[in-house]
């Protein structure tokens, strides 16, 4: 029988340290439990002691650092839980989609095989093959394969309209390149008021 050496438990910064009394830890716990709006004044009121006493405990046991350690610890736990949930959801989606993709691939292979067989039958019969039907079947087969491989089945163009102003230099270059005449200044007309 082997002797197992027990490893000492790691004490987290916000837990009671071996050198901290139970009463001192209870005061820290009260302060910590006040949440983001905590203050020594509020904790002192809740504990029925002086603020000065809590200031001394806070310095001695480094309460600000312990609060930071507490917040980091639970932020890490929350992040780990979110990551674990995201991984579980990803596996769940993969388990749902993978059979559909495999089936799509098999259907595509069968469609391609049917087109090949039809083409061979048409060649042997001397008839003109129906290319439209074969083209549709191949188009479907390749779309199924694209789906099975996780690729997009359509390519869409994206047009961005920019409503920016054209600089004077560019405007001049465009006029020269396309032999556009300079815009003529509007004629200035002198207007006189007509009295009845």
Query: Two tokens at 51?
Result: 């603020």
Query: Two tokens at 171?
Result: 């405007």
Alpha helices in the chain (DSSP H): 22-33, 40-47, 51-60, 63-125, 131-148, 168-177
Residues 121-176 pLDDT 10s: 877 887 766 778 778 777 878 887 777 777 776 666 666 665 556 567 667 766 66
Dihedrals phi, psi of 48, to nearest 5 degrees: 75, 40
- 3-class DSSP state of 56: helix
Query: Two tokens at 140?
Result: 């479907």
* Cα separation, 155 vs 126, whole angstroms: 38
- Indicate if the pLDDT at residue 110 is higher than 70: yes
Quick one: pLDDT at residue 5? 66
Q: What average pLDDT is seen over the chain?
A: 79
- Indicate if the pLDDT at residue 31 is higher than 70: yes
pTM given for the model:
0.46
Domain ranges of the chain: 71-148
Quick one: pLDDT at residue 24? 92
* Cα separation, 53 vs 60, whole angstroms: 11
* Cα separation, 184 vs 182, whole angstroms: 6
């Amino acid at each position: 029988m082997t002797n197992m050496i027990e490893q000492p438990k790691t004490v987290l910064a916000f837990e009671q340290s071996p050198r901290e009394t139970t009463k001192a830890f209870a005061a820290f716990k009260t302060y910590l439990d006040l949440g983001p709006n905590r203050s020594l004044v509020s904790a002192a009121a809740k504990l029925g002691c002086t603020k000065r006493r809590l200031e001394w405990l806070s310095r001695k046991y480094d309460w600000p650092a312990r609060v930071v350690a507490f917040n980091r610890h639970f932020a890490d736990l929350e992040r780990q839980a979110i990551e674990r949930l995201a991984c579980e959801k990803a596996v769940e989606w993969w388990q749902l989609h993978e059979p559909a993709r495999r089936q799509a691939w098999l259907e595509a292979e069968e469609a391609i095989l049917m087109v090949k067989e039809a083409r061979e039958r048409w060649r042997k019969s001397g008839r003109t093959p129906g290319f439209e039907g074969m083209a549709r079947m191949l188009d479907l087969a390749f779309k199924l394969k694209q789906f099975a491989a996780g690729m997009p089945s359509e390519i869409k163009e994206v047009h961005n309209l920019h409503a920016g102003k054209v600089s004077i230099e560019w405007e001049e270059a465009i006029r020269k390149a396309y032999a556009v005449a300079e815009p003529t200044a509007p004629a200035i007309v002198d207007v006189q008021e007509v009295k009845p």
